[in-house]
Amino acid sequence: MRTLYNQTIKNPKVFKQRLLYWAQQFDDVVWLDSNDYKAQYSSYDAVLAVDAFTSLQTDFTEAFERLKEYQQTVKDWIFGYLTYDLKNATEDLKSNNYDGLGFPDLYFFQPKKLILIKDEIVEFQYLKMLDEEIEDDFNSITNCHCEEQSDGAISHNPIKIKLRIHKDEYFEKVNTMLAHIHRGDIYEANFCQEFYAEDSTINPIETYKKLNKISKPPFATYLKSFDKYLLSASPERYIKKTGNKVISQPIKGTAQRSLNKEEDKLLADALANDTKERSENIMIVDLVRNDLSQTAEKGSVKVEELCKVYSFLQVHQMISTVTSKVSEDVHPVDIIKTTFPMGSMTGAPKISAMKIIENLEETKRGLYSGAVGYFTPKGDFDFNVIIRSILYNETQKYISYSVGSAITAKSNPLREYEECLVKAKAMREVLEN
């Protein structure tokens, strides 16, 4: 049981900033921020979960069964992540590529302290045993000037970013993938590459703040699990359940932005009418419809938006919205299990694409192209897609960010490479400047 306590706040932006600094005292932190992006289906402006009361950490073996058991036992809010490599739990697949980060395959925790922000109302939901701490914590956050005490530095040493796959090798690998497509093995696959730095340190919270300021996406995430960090500027929702409705919003199609308004509009219009980008998006929409149909009530899968262009600070994105309805006897974890990994990060057909991806990529994806989010006590959930993100293992002093693009029959290796650089721009800027 949780104690509920509501307070009105005068300046949500300042309160949110102080809240994030206050959270640094805990080993387990999940911060989800919409950046005031009033998107359809958004529930909160920001959510903070800290301090594990109970937790589940496991590798991919029977991971979904263990998550289902944990969620049913706790019957409370739980927050955590699913790595891409949980694909090995549902199909005969493997993940043998290099991993410099070492995140467990799945991690969820039941927070002792949960804080939800909507407009100017902050709602504290603390476990009963800690309810006496709510007022003190609210005052501590409100009066905290911790951001002023921060050294503001991201790194004391220059960070040298290396490429796991160099340009010529990238072209060779894309051409190999195109050969698979022309043979009919797959229609599309999301091919990713890692950028990394070894023996390097960063200030995680300052790095996150700078990345978030550059992009201001609707699914920003700061995750801390002891010595491992995710600093994410994700624009993409993976999947959400609210009542008996399930919503998936895959992104496929990217164009850079321009400071010139007329040119920027031309870039957005060109993306909306680009036959290659539209075909990429439609293929993934078909895959998502098929995935959702496994748990949906008959005839309930619908495409609410197809190939709609949304504009973010860094890029224009083509997003579709696919929904379904599920009956009460469908377990929420089964909805995730039958749709994971998300189609936008794999390809079609999904299993063939994942096998080819494993052979051509050089790095284990881990949390990149996985998901972070939460389950509510009622079994609703909301998860993003981990893209446009920096991952950091503080103990190993290893920093990583990966980017990818969808390879189809119409792909040009040079254009795909340039798209990756556009997507990588914000992360590189944050780390190198």
Tokens 């043998």 belong to residue? 96
For 151, what's the count of Cα atoms within 13 Å in the CB-facing half-sphere?
7
Q: In angstroms, rounded to a whole number, what is the distance separating the alpha carbons of residues 423 and 404? A: 8
**Radius of gyration of the CA atoms of the chain, in A:** 21
Q: At what angle do helices 413-432 and 204-215 cross, to 10 degrees?
A: 130
Query: Quick check: is 252 catalytic?
Result: yes
Which one of 173, 210, 240, 252 is the catalytic residue?
Answer: 252
Residues sharing a CB contact under 8 Å with residue 265, sequence separation 6 or more, in sequence order: none
> Does the active-site annotation cover 236?
yes
Q: CB atoms < 10 A from the CB of 414, how many?
A: 12
Nearest in space to 53 (alpha carbons), one of 32, 31, 70, 33: 70
Task: Indicate the residue type of 133.
Answer: E
Peptide bond into 349 cis (omega under 30): yes
In this structure, are residues 249 and 384 in contact, taking their beta carbons and an 8 Å threshold? no
- Of the candidates 29, 32, 40, 37, the one whose C-alpha atom is nearest the C-alpha of residue 16 is 32
Q: Which residue from 131, 160, 335, 118 is spatially nearest to 244, judged by alpha carbons?
A: 335
Q: Please choose, from the candidates 77, 76, 96, the residue with its C-alpha nearest in 3D space to the C-alpha of residue 85.
A: 96
Which amino acid, one-letter code, is at 236?
Answer: E
Choosing from 188, 236, 358, 361, the catalytic residue is 236
Cα distances (angstroms) measured from residue 299 to each of 96, 103, 293, 331: 39, 39, 9, 19
In order of 131, 144, 251, 280, 404, the CA distances from 344 in angstroms are 42, 41, 6, 9, 10
Q: Rounded to an integer, what distance in angstroms lies between the CA atom of residue 338 and that of residue 356?
A: 20
In sequence order, what are the beta bridge partners of 382? 240, 374
Catalytic residues: 236, 252
